[in-house]
Structure 1
Amino acid sequence: MKETGVVYLVGAGPGDPGLITEKGLSRLRICDAVVYDSLLSPRLLDEVPEQCRKIYVGKRSGCHSMKQEEINQLLVELAREGLSVVRLKGGDPFVFGRAGEEIMALSDAGIPYEVVSGVTSAVAALASAGIPVTHRAVSRSFHVMTGHTLSEEGSLPADFNEFARLSGTLVFLMGLHNLSLIVKGLLNQGKPGETPAAVIQNGTLPGERTVRGTIENIEEKVLEAGIESPAIIVVGEVASLDFSATLKQPLEGCRIGVTGTDSFTGRLRKQLESLGGISENILSLLVESHRKGEEMKEAYKKLPSYTWIVFTSANGVREFFRGLMEWGYDYRSVGHVKFAAVGRGTADELLRHGFTADYIPEKYQVQDLAAGLKGLISGKDRLLIPRSLRGSKELNEILDETGVSYDDIVLYDVAIAGLESEGRAEALKNLDYLTFSSASGVEAFFREADEEIKEALEGLKVVCIGDITAKALIEHGRKADIIAGVYSIQGLTEAICRDLKE
């Protein structure tokens, strides 16, 4: 009989993935299943283990993917399977997160649980907009109410009157659709019409927008600005203050589309967003492994005969070592081998497996990798090159000049696993830049690109990670606007920063 699992109720914070707690991240990184809401960053799902089950149970106004009772039962069932479960909630689990109901269900079923607090948007979204929730001599208290709970008669809750008469800062979460009722209720309870008010949309996120006014005119200002949910309403003297950050990031407000495998785009998006960019996943590529194929099976058998293994991507490193274990070998099988890596990202992945690259070219491109190897190898060497189906032929051409023996074997291919063509075209129209990290990514992008997508591509700048990727782009009739000087995530990011500054 399986041991009972455990449920962690984790607060994901107000939206910015950087505002989750370290403890919350640690629980995500070990879980077997994650049950998550809609008002949190999808980037947090990149932190869970590869085999983790991801179950969406998001609830927005008027649209519930799963009833609360069903969520309660789901958590119990997953834990009874012996799984470590993270119930990931936007904000803090106990701030209108219904964590109490879930805990009661877990307790009744005898399931152990832990609550990991999160940063609530009731404080963080205000701070992001430059509004202090309290301020000396202005507001000595703050009070938070849910803004969407109406009575059966369609009016505000019975305790609203007492809430409206409180001094200090009043914060209404999830109340944009009831803004008119809230304003009327405040005025009816004696709040002066000139009391400062603000509405914050997408607080702490790159698309954050803030409208300021007074109780009397905030409705009109919100309509004029086209503010939409999710939004927070703030009422009180602090809403007239503006302590917005004066530090401006180099990519602030810049919208950048990324293409590639989840592993690559996850790291690239973190880098872009850390510099203030707004990133969007335009094309997800799925790695289709060939590590269990006959060619790789023979390559693993012949490992003692190879003197160099040449990796042209981090994907190649991951797939190679997975296959090594699956075919019954271990690291001792490659103890005699030297490793070459096309760039720092590939070398870092190699290091995660305990091996230091013996050679990395100064410029992180395949032709430079091959040219550098020419001076390091001799006729006595034998090379294994496990790589993508669509790997550059320039590597072969340069190595053929040396007369060295090598096996160039297909270890993996990439396939589209992202948006439909219609979705990509619409997303492209809102971008400033689009990045390509490999020739394989370019091929996959154009494989199903219709005329609308190609037309949308003309309205933005295309950034390629290197010359080979740029060459693949030219073959499809589009020249790269920017080519990174260094074949890496850092190189891509720096190229965009430099172009934007110029």
Structure 2
Amino acid sequence: MTGKVILTGAGCGSFDLITLRGMEALRGCDVVIYDSLIDLRLLDLAPQAEKICVGKRAGQHSAKQEEINALLVEKALSGRTVVRLKGGDPFVFGRGGEEILELKRHGIPFAVIPGVTSSVAVPELAGIPVTHRKNARSFHVVTGHTADNCTPENLAQYAKLTGTLVFLMGLNSLEAIAQGLVCGGMPADAPAAVISNGATRFQRTVRSPLGNIAEAVRNAGLSAPAIIVVGDAAAFDFSATYVPPLSGRNIAVVSSGGTAERLCAVLHALGAYAFRSGGVDIEEEFTPGIDRAFSALGGYTHIALTSPNGARVFLKKLREKRVDIRSLNAVKFAVIGRGTAAVLEEHGVFPELMPGEYSTAALGELLAERLGENSRLLVLRSEEGSRELNVILDNSNLDYDDVKIYRPVYRPAEALECDIAVFTSAGAARGFFENGGSVPAGSRVAAIGKVTAAELERHGCAECILPQESTVDGVVQSILEAVKCRDSED
């Protein structure tokens, strides 16, 4: 059975400029064939998919267009749903039309999802409107080089246009473009601007009269990708006056999937460039011990959950085994902290027991204090759960079953490049460093709690940002306070 190809505009720069339709396509595809200019965080939306980078960046090695066409055909003919993820919009100098012609030749179904084009969005984010009433009633988008890497052939004709000129992929030809426009009759003092790495945390803008723009850009050391804007509209500066509190901060999150996703989303909303690195994936366990425990849940007086991941797996197993939550109306739930409680509460389960300090030891002490001789406890947790809990429960002579319902699988780690690295569990920290991860000198480290901080200290991270409450919100608040303090010191 033949699959299909969805040509999808990734938008320009930051991952959150993709459309909702584009996000849904990524979540449902089997293969992503992507350009090098996309924000790699978009690939996290398709954890299930095969991912193939085909480059497409000026001055760097990339697959030839014919090779990309052949790859699209090969993957689609194997019955797979392919997202061809292209920077900006597929039809704005994106060669999307050539790819569609190849698909049509092979009878392969396709769809197109528009993207936010850099020709409008990048000037806009630099404060430049491509149109403005009584000033620029049109705009013209021009490729900065032709197929044989030459400057535009009709600069003299472009110079006579009255609207805004936007040149894409033209940084290497900037001097020739500026000279050609001036020679064609455009005033040398016409406003011009060049925006480098638009819609990213590295965005930089240089403004100068057209006759001097090449020298100004050279002196500033701007790099590709860059967009050139020429015309009266380039004189405006409508740059945003609100700056989010974490703007410009590069924050790595080392965590399990669900927690990492939530933490990155909150940090991103506050202006940070937040990304997941290393961390832990959760693999659900299937054992006879789990089957026995879940077949007799009503026989326990208490169920203890020691992490949000444990709570998620518990709820998933309830659904899989078709256990009606109403049958547990006599069972009391104990959790290690607010994050774990929040997962249960989303499903209408409100824990009765939670320690004031969010740690395994504190949970154990609370259970030892509250449970009596007629109590029967079920502990559901990770395969790497701390023995500290067992020691406390054993010393209290409690009747309990300790059932491991998931195990952590540590992702490959890397040398981070970040301002702040956030670790949300001791296991994530341990796995990160044992799998080759490192934190650069001068970067700050944040831990979700004291146990995680102690693990980080064992790996040389002595000073940690610590929250008052060991939750995602607590970590975010502690980062905001730490950044504010450092900014005031500077």
Same fold (TM over 0.5): yes
For residue 35 of structure 1, give the secondary structure of its aligned residue in structure 2. Answer: strand
The Cα of 1:273 is off from its aligned counterpart by 1.7
The Cα of 1:369 is off from its aligned counterpart by 3.7
Gaps of 5+ in 1: none
Maintained 8 Å contact 1:11/1:92: yes
The residue identity in structure 2 corresponding to 1:106 is: L
Q: Aligned residue for 1:435?
A: 422
Q: Aligned residue for 2:431?
A: 444
The residue identity in structure 1 corresponding to 2:89 is: D
Is residue 341 of structure 2 the alignment partner of residue 358 of structure 1?
A: no
For residue 217 of structure 1, give the secondary structure of its aligned residue in structure 2. Answer: helix
Correspondences of 1:206-217 after superposition (within 5 Å): 206-217=201-212
Q: What is the rounded CA distance, in whole Å, between the counterparts of 1:298 and 1:41 in structure 2? A: 44
Q: What is the rounded CA distance, in whole Å, between the counterparts of 1:271 and 1:150 in structure 2? A: 43
The residue identity in structure 1 corresponding to 2:122 is: A
Maintained 8 Å contact 2:156/2:180: yes
Q: What is the rounded CA distance, in whole Å, between the counterparts of 2:94 and 2:308 in structure 1? A: 39
The residue identity in structure 1 corresponding to 2:351 is: D
Correspondences of 1:407-422 after superposition (within 5 Å): 407-410=401-404, 411-419=406-414
Maintained 8 Å contact 1:340/1:357: no
Q: Aligned residue for 2:445?
A: 462
Distance verdict in 2 for CA 1:62–1:477, change over 3 Å: closer
| Deviation per residue, 1:149-178 (Å, 9 max, x gap) | 254xx6423334323332211111122122
The residue identity in structure 2 corresponding to 1:388 is: S
Q: Aligned residue for 1:260?
A: 255
Q: Aligned residue for 2:186?
A: 191
For residue 302 of structure 1, give the secondary structure of its aligned residue in structure 2. Answer: helix
The Cα of 1:82 is off from its aligned counterpart by 3.0
Is residue 196 of structure 2 the alignment partner of residue 238 of structure 1?
A: no
Query: 440-449 or 372-381, which moves further after superposition?
Result: 372-381
Q: What is the rounded CA distance, in whole Å, between the counterparts of 1:187 and 1:251 in structure 2? A: 42
Q: Aligned residue for 1:342?
A: 336
Query: 162-171 or 89-98, which moves further after superposition?
Result: 162-171
Is residue 399 of structure 2 the alignment partner of residue 405 of structure 1?
A: yes
* Residue number among 285, 301, 305 corresponding to 2:292 in the alignment: 301
Maintained 8 Å contact 1:173/1:231: yes
The Cα of 1:190 is off from its aligned counterpart by 1.7
Q: What is the rounded CA distance, in whole Å, between the counterparts of 2:309 and 2:100 in structure 1? A: 41
Q: Aligned residue for 1:116?
A: 113
* Residue number among 138, 154, 157 corresponding to 1:159 in the alignment: 154
Counting aligned pairs with the same residue, the percent is 44
Q: What is the rounded CA distance, in whole Å, between the counterparts of 1:266 and 1:285 in structure 2? A: 12
* Residue number among 143, 163, 168 corresponding to 1:146 in the alignment: 143
The Cα of 1:126 is off from its aligned counterpart by 0.9
The Cα of 1:408 is off from its aligned counterpart by 3.1
For residue 408 of structure 1, give the secondary structure of its aligned residue in structure 2. Answer: strand
Query: 241-250 or 472-481, which moves further after superposition?
Result: 472-481
The Cα of 1:274 is off from its aligned counterpart by 1.2
For residue 211 of structure 2, give the secondary structure of its aligned residue in structure 1. Answer: coil
The Cα of 1:74 is off from its aligned counterpart by 2.5
Distance verdict in 2 for CA 1:349–1:340, change over 3 Å: same
* Residue number among 87, 90, 95 corresponding to 2:84 in the alignment: 87
* Residue number among 197, 209, 219 corresponding to 2:214 in the alignment: 219
Q: What is the rounded CA distance, in whole Å, between the counterparts of 1:360 and 1:273 in structure 2? A: 33
* Residue number among 174, 178, 181 corresponding to 2:173 in the alignment: 178
Maintained 8 Å contact 1:344/1:360: no
Gaps of 5+ in 2: 486-490
Q: Aligned residue for 2:96?
A: 99
Q: What is the rounded CA distance, in whole Å, between the counterparts of 2:378 and 2:199 in structure 1? A: 48
Q: What is the rounded CA distance, in whole Å, between the counterparts of 1:241 and 1:320 in structure 2? A: 56
Q: What is the rounded CA distance, in whole Å, between the counterparts of 1:55 and 1:29 in structure 2? A: 16
The residue identity in structure 2 corresponding to 1:29 is: R
For residue 189 of structure 2, give the secondary structure of its aligned residue in structure 1. Answer: coil
Q: Aligned residue for 1:9?
A: 7
* Residue number among 366, 388, 391 corresponding to 2:382 in the alignment: 388
Query: 213-222 or 61-70, which moves further after superposition?
Result: 61-70
The residue identity in structure 2 corresponding to 1:482 is: I
Maintained 8 Å contact 1:414/1:440: no
Q: Aligned residue for 1:490?
A: 473
For residue 499 of structure 1, give the secondary structure of its aligned residue in structure 2. Answer: helix
The Cα of 1:142 is off from its aligned counterpart by 0.7
The Cα of 1:442 is off from its aligned counterpart by 2.0
Q: Aligned residue for 2:488?
A: none
Correspondences of 1:127-142 after superposition (within 5 Å): 127-142=124-139
Q: Aligned residue for 2:41?
A: 43
| Deviation per residue, 1:342-369 (Å, 9 max, x gap) | 34444455567x5635346365443444
TM-score (norm 1): 0.86
For residue 394 of structure 2, give the secondary structure of its aligned residue in structure 1. Answer: helix
Q: CA RMSD of the aligned region, Å?
A: 2.9
Count residues with an aligned counterpart.
478
* Residue number among 358, 362, 373 corresponding to 1:379 in the alignment: 373
Query: 181-190 or 399-408, which moves further after superposition?
Result: 399-408
Q: Aligned residue for 1:229?
A: 224
Q: What is the rounded CA distance, in whole Å, between the counterparts of 1:334 and 1:76 in structure 2? A: 52
Q: What is the rounded CA distance, in whole Å, between the counterparts of 1:209 and 1:56 in structure 2? A: 26
For residue 110 of structure 1, give the secondary structure of its aligned residue in structure 2. Answer: coil
* Residue number among 295, 306, 323 corresponding to 1:312 in the alignment: 306
TM-score (norm 2): 0.87
Q: What is the rounded CA distance, in whole Å, between the counterparts of 1:279 and 1:333 in structure 2? A: 37
Maintained 8 Å contact 2:413/2:436: no
Is residue 257 of structure 2 the alignment partner of residue 274 of structure 1?
A: no
The residue identity in structure 1 corresponding to 2:255 is: G
The Cα of 1:127 is off from its aligned counterpart by 1.0
